Amino acid sequence: MADDKKPTIIKKYANRRLYHTGTSTYVTLDDLAKMIQKGEEFEVQDAKTGEDITRSVLAQIIFEQEGKGTTNLLPIPFLRQLIGFYGDALQGVLPTYLEASMQHFAREQQKFREQFSSSFGPAVAFGAMEEQARRNMAVFQEAMRMFLPFGQRRANGDGGQPKPETTATESELESLRRQMSDMQQKLDRIVTKD
């Protein structure tokens, strides 16, 4: 938020009820999700200890939203990769990267919607966002490789070099086939001359 307004305090009681101190009412996780979507800042505190438990409540909101199964934002491979970072030496880098990526995505979100929906329709817009996500992941993976010790990169056999793109278009494959055919013909001519 642009102003210096303090976040609303939400108290969580032992019976798991959430109390909105600003409106003096009980709220649900869905209510908190709506507050977030409106851009309202809040902090969730344990009612007994005063401990900030915002992170676990936000994770609970995500868990419930993903459990509804209507629109899952977190693909299973992403969740597996995320879990894989727990306990990893580089787990401290991931939160900063994810936060920066989400901030960038949020800033560009309206532009994405306008450009792609007006030009190509929603299906292409999704594909373009998916491509942007792939590029972000490639940048992230390259950044992670930079933090690996040199010997470990060597042990992986890639020498620290990014792995080349493994998919090729049909035209690229056809071009390679023609080149191989030309080389084969040249080799055949050389062999028949001898």
User: Do 91 and 34 share a structural domain?
Assistant: no
Q: How many domains does the chain have?
A: 2
- Residue 45 is predicted with a pLDDT of 97
- Residue 2 is predicted with a pLDDT of 47
- Residue 128 is predicted with a pLDDT of 63
Position 173 in a domain: no
- Residue 173 is predicted with a pLDDT of 75
User: Do 85 and 40 share a structural domain?
Assistant: no
Contact 71, 62 (CB under 8 A): no
Position 175 in a domain: no
- Residue 106 is predicted with a pLDDT of 82
- Residue 73 is predicted with a pLDDT of 86
User: Does the pTM of the predicted model rise above 0.75?
Assistant: no
What residues make up the domain containing 147?
A: 74-159
Q: What DSSP line would sit under 49-116, residue for residue? A: T--B-HHHHHHHHHHHHHHH-SS-SS-HHHHHHHHHTTTSTTTTHHHHHHHHHHHHHHHHHHHHHHHH
User: Do 87 and 63 share a structural domain?
Assistant: no
- Residue 126 is predicted with a pLDDT of 61
User: Do 30 and 61 share a structural domain?
Assistant: yes
For the stretch 63-100, pLDDT in tens is 988 888 777 888 888 889 889 888 888 788 888 888 88
Q: How far is CA 18 from CA 37, 39, 103, 174, in A?
A: 18, 19, 28, 62
Both tokens of 15, joined, read: 């019976």
Q: Per-block average pLDDT, block size 10, for the chain (194 residues)?
A: 76 96 96 94 96 96 85 86 86 87 83 71 60 68 60 47 56 77 72 63
- Residue 5 is predicted with a pLDDT of 81
